[in-house]
Structure 1
Amino acid sequence: MKTEIENEWVFEQKPNEVWEYLTKSELIALWLMPNNFKLILGHEFQFNTNPIPSLDLDGVFHCKIIEIIPLQRLVYSWKGVSGNGDFSLDTIVEWNLVEHNNGAKLILKHSGFKEINFAIFTGMTDGWQKNIQKMLNHLNTTK
């Protein structure tokens, strides 16, 4: 089984515009989930959605910012809790942003999935594609 999701997307927008959608709570909520994100090293935050019983997740993802290189790199842990209160998902999300032609390239690596996370891995592989498309739609409507 694969243990990491890797994707790249190219944007017409400049890196600083894409960076805002990765680092501003109200913009993250537009394309991903409601959250209490703050761009502070070590900040612990949550993404909130409805419980997902089919994946044994309570709907709260617990995260902690591990690394920040402004306008270039953001890394945070991403943990999910099962219905019995145990962390059933313990992964790392890495965003890398680089200039590309006249726009930006966004590179995602979401790693640390285990065999017990196969259904979550499958869902998130598709989910990241759909969510980044939402981000792109928002970026394109704010031009």
Structure 2
Amino acid sequence: MQTEIVNQWIYEQPPGEVWKYLTQADLIELWLMPNDFKPIVGHEFSFRIKPIPSLNLDGIFNCKVLELVPFKKLIYSWKGGPGDGSITLDTICEWTLESYGSGTKLHIKQTGFNEANFAIATAMTDGWDKNIQKMIAHMNQQKLASK
């Protein structure tokens, strides 16, 4: 059974540019979902999407910034449920960035999945890759526009 998601991607852009897409609410919305994120340890924020009844999720994910090391690491909690006050998804999402040549290697590790939310873990594994591809596309468009 899958209890965590682990993946990595390589970017042409330096860590500072990738960091912006992980920590600026307007840029996060471009590739992930609407949010009220602020890069401040202890800040509570939410991600919002349409409800997903098949996964027992109301579409509101409540999160809290747990650790922040500028340009290197971002950790936040990620919780969700059916909207009745119960939590069926209680995970920790850890992003780490490292220089890779002139670009960046971005890692994600999301832990805390269990048997009850196996279907969510499966959906999020695919979802992270699709969303990261959207981030890369936005970064590449920005790079072209600035030339």
- With the shorter chain as reference, the TM-score category is over 0.9
Q: Using the TM superposition, give the Cα deviation of residue 82 of structure 1 relative to its aligned residue in structure 2, in angstroms.
A: 1.6
Amino acid at match of 1:142: Q
2:88 aligned residue = 88
Moved over 3 A (4+): none
Q: State the Cα distance separating 1:69 from its structure 2 match.
A: 0.4
- Measure, in 2, the Cα distance between the counterparts of 1:114 and 1:138: 33
Question: What is the 5 A alignment of 1:101-116?
Answer: 101-116=101-116
Could you tell me how far apart the structure 2 residues matched to 1:46 and 1:104 are? 27
Which AA in structure 2 matches 1:32?
A: L
Q: What is the aligned partner in structure 2 of residue 69 from structure 1?
A: 69
Partner Cα distance (2:83, 2:17) in 1 = 37
Deviation at 1:81, TM superposition (A): 1.7
Cross-structure match for 1:29: 29
1:118 matched residue in structure 2: 118
Partners in 1 of 2:55 and 2:19 — Cα distance?
Answer: 30
Q: TM-score, normalised by structure 2?
A: 0.96
Quote the offset at 1:49 in angstroms.
Answer: 0.4
Which secondary structure does the structure 1 equivalent of 2:88 belong to? strand
Determine what percentage of the aligned residue pairs are the same residue: 59
Q: In structure 1, list runs of 5 or more residues that go unmatched.
A: none
**Pairwise CA distance, 1:2:** 1.7
Cα separation, 2, equivalents of 1:141 and 1:103:
16
- Aligned mates of 1:33, 1:62 — CA distance in 2: 13
2:131 is matched with: 131
Separation (CA, whole Å) in 2 of partners of 1:8 and 1:54? 28
For residue 84 of structure 1, report the CA deviation from its aligned partner.
Answer: 2.8
- Count of aligned residue pairs for this structure pair: 143
Cα distance in 2 for partners of 1:45, 1:138 equals 23
- Structure 2's unaligned 5+ residue stretches are none
Q: Please state if 1:142 is matched with 2:138.
A: no
**TM-score after normalising by structure 1:** 0.99
Is the partner of 1:128 in helix, strand or coil? helix
